[in-house]
Structure 1
Amino acid sequence: MQPIFDFFFDQYYGYPTLFIILEIIAVVFGFLSVIYSKQNNILVYPTGIISTAIFVYLLWQWELLGDMMINAYYFSMSIYGWYVWTRKVDEDHYTPITNTTKKENWQSLFIFIATLVFVYLVYEYFEKWDNWTAYVDAVTTAVFFVGMWQMALKKVENWIFWIVGDVISVPLYFYKGLTLTSIQYFAFTIIAIYGYRAWQRNLRNDLRPSLK
């Protein structure tokens, strides 16, 4: 049993206790945020804000710039998403779940490419192209940027980006020595699959003509 424990958590030996506690808190609120997102619940944003704020601090301390930028972006988009989700489209209805339009697909492509360029410039400036993980970071950052933007707009397709990014992040974070965060992203992958199905059902129900 001890060798298995050491395999998963040996990375934490020597970590400041405060960092470990903060990571646990961030992971818990991250779980809550994704679960609330699956349920189309506005609490996705306050819980997400707490989680991302903590991760921004931790990732800055660990000098993981790409991951830090992802969470800083999540933080700002959570504020925007909170506003969009509580905005009424008419007197009785709030922003509904919808599919992306052709224009929004082009906007998503632009965000993806612009994010890749931005991350490249940041890593180039800080001379962080010293490991293969930096290249994966650039891609996952772009994927998650699009996913967060689409989630703020309540687009079903946001879950596809979350699933892709989560699948990549599971081994990536474990390799970086962040076992708890790796486990978190594994759970995120499962929740995102169910979230995608739940939002599809929600959309079909909204589009179903009501019986008089």
Structure 2
Amino acid sequence: MQHWTELFLQQVRNVSLLEWLSVILGVAEVLLARANKVWLYPSGIAATAISIYLFWVSGLFAECLLSGYYIVMSIYGWYYWVQKRNEPPVQVSYANRREWVITLLIVFLGWGILYLLLINYTTSTVPVWDAWVSSTAWAGMWLLARRKIENWILLNVSNLFAVPLLYHKHLVLFMLLTVFLFIVAIFGYFDWRKIIKKQSTQLPA
């Protein structure tokens, strides 16, 4: 136990300023997402741009692809949310059958494609784990962009597997951020469920 504590403290002491900045912006993003505020997108884009460099240096190549995908989806989600300024904002809702099919395709096809890319074109030492974390997060972010409550479930599947992966790669601050995101996502799910319930009571009879 003492060995692991010392190793953890050593990793904390070695955290770079870029990692701190990325994590602070990431915390701001998830709090804004939980509050259902559009400013989650610019915060997330800035945090992700920094993380791409850090993941590349650490050899988490699928995480780099995930981060690039996140930036694209964040821009899409930002536009999707505010494209009709004179109309009510896009409402939170449950995913329908078609959206679930797309979600599962993103998870499993994405996992297979990423795994093949990692083992054939990179020096990744954790291709299976890295690919799974990224594909489940891909699916979660697609659902978030569509304002679907299930995004919290998919993102937490990714977070659950990301924690040991990030620790293994000595990205301890990102690991702590992921633990924080896991906890906030639980609250986010229930907050969004309250929003959906409130929306349903406001529908015209």
Q: Paired residue for 1:60?
A: 56
Root mean square deviation, CA, Å:
2.2
For residues 50-101 of structure 1, give each alpha carbon's deviation from its aligned partner in whole angstroms, at most 9, with x where no partner exists. 000000111122221011111111111111110011133x953121111101
The alignment status of 1:190 with 2:149, answered yes or no, reads no
Q: Give the Cα separation in 1 of the matches to 2:3 and 2:107.
A: 41
Q: Describe how 1:51-200 pairs up with structure 2 within 5 A.
A: 51-88=47-84, 91-128=86-123, 131=125, 133-200=126-193
Q: Percent identity over the alignment? A: 29
SS of the residue 1:205 aligns to = helix
Q: Is the CA contact 2:140–2:151 (under 8 Å) kept in the aligned structure 1?
A: yes
Residues 155-210 of structure 1 show CA distances to partners (whole Å, capped at 9, x for unaligned) of 00000011111122122211211110100000001100000000000011001146
Q: Deviations over 1:20-51 (max 9, x none)?
A: 10010000000110110000000110000000
1:8 matched residue in structure 2: 8
Gaps of 5+ in 2: none
Contact 1:9 1:179 survives alignment (8 Å): no
The one-letter code of the counterpart of 1:10 is Q
Distance (Å, rounded) in 2 between the aligned partners of 1:165 and 1:78: 17
Q: Which runs of 5+ in 1 are unaligned?
A: none
Q: TM-score, normalised by structure 1?
A: 0.88
Stretch moving more, 163-172 or 24-33: 163-172
**1:79 alignment partner AA:** I
Asked if the contact 1:156/1:200 (under 8 Å) is kept, the reply is: yes
Aligned mates of 1:142, 1:37 — CA distance in 2 = 20
Question: Whole-Å Cα distance in 2 between the matches of residues 20 and 66 of structure 1?
Answer: 21
Q: Look up the SS of the partner of 1:74 in the other structure.
A: helix
Task: Please give the alpha-carbon distance, in whole angstroms, between the structure 2 residues aligned to 1:31 and 1:104.
Answer: 28
- 2:102 and 2:39 map into 1 onto residues whose CA distance is 27
Contact 2:59 2:123 in 1 (8 A): no
TM superposition shift of 1:3: 6.7
Question: In 2, are the aligned partners of 1:87 and 1:94 still within 8 Å (CA)?
Answer: no
> Among 43, 57, 63, which residue is 2:39 paired with?
43
Determine the C-alpha separation between the residues in 2 that align with 1:78 and 1:60: 20
Q: Are the counterparts in 2 of residues 128 and 134 from structure 1 also a CA contact under 8 Å?
A: no
Letter in 2 for 1:94: P
Confirm whether residue 205 of structure 1 aligns to residue 198 of structure 2: yes
- Partner Cα distance (2:83, 2:199) in 1: 18
Work out the number of aligned pairs and report it. Answer: 204
